[in-house]
Amino acid sequence: MKETTRILIPQDKVEERIQQLADEISRDYEGKVVHLVGILKGSVFFVCELAKRLTIPVTMDFMSVSSYGSGTKSSGIVKLIKDLDEPLEGREVIVVEDIIDSGRTLSYLLKNLSNRRPASIRLCTLLDKPDRRECEVDVDYQGFQIPDEFVIGYGLDYDQRYRNLPYIGVLALSEE
């Protein structure tokens, strides 16, 4: 299989949008400490770029779940691989994701995290593929809505590669 990539959202547009989201969050959480929960590994690049631009106090924690195998299709099973290091009780939590596709991962996660009694919990995603939704999720902060294409870069992988691309690309696989 030959893999080719095409730029869907260039780096400057991604970073411009992250700045806008950071401004919005800084305004919304003025006077509070926001606790960013990054979902490994896809959201790492996004959560760091977002955190750097927030003007309010920030704490961060990470967890890892898996809903995909090594390909481009969901297995439909969400597995908790690494839990958070710290409790969420009383915290102003923002869950930061790379992309919402079927919504299965997030609907599982938001239920799980809400049970830990945070003061509040919101969701921030860099990308959203609304056409693919199977489970409803309320998105509070969203970078871009994208069409139903498999994307890579800015943290998103195909078989663990391409996370380091500084833009959002579309992956095309062709026989060769």
Q: Which is nearer to ligand IMP, 94 or 105 (CB)?
A: 105
Q: Which is nearer to ligand IMP, 40 or 56 (CB)?
A: 40
Whose CB is nearest to Mg ion?
42
Q: Least distance from C-beta 159 to ligand IMP, angstroms?
A: 10
Q: In what order do the strands lie in the sheet with 58-68?
A: 74-82, 58-68, 34-40, 92-100, 120-128, 141-145
The correct pick among 50, 97, 123, 126 for binding ligand IMP (CB under 6 A) is: 97
3-state secondary structure of 129: coil
Q: Which two tokens stand for residue 49?
A: 């770029």
Q: Least distance from C-beta 61 to ligand IMP, angstroms?
A: 17
State the Cα–Cα distance between residues 43 and 99, nearest whole angstrom: 8
The correct pick among 9, 22, 42, 165 for binding Mg ion (CB under 5 A) is: 42
The Cβ-side half-sphere exposure at 132, using a 13 Å CA radius, reads 18
Q: Which is nearer to ligand IMP, 29 or 109 (CB)?
A: 109
Map tokens 């199977």 to a residue.
134
Q: By CB under 6 A, what part of segment 109-148 binds ligand IMP?
A: none
Q: Least distance from C-beta 157 to ligand IMP, angstroms?
A: 6
Does position 67 bind ligand IMP by CB under 6 A?
A: yes
- Decide if 93 contacts 120 (C-beta within 8 A): yes
- Decide if 176 contacts 11 (C-beta within 8 A): no
The correct pick among 11, 19, 26, 74 for binding ligand IMP (CB under 6 A) is: 74
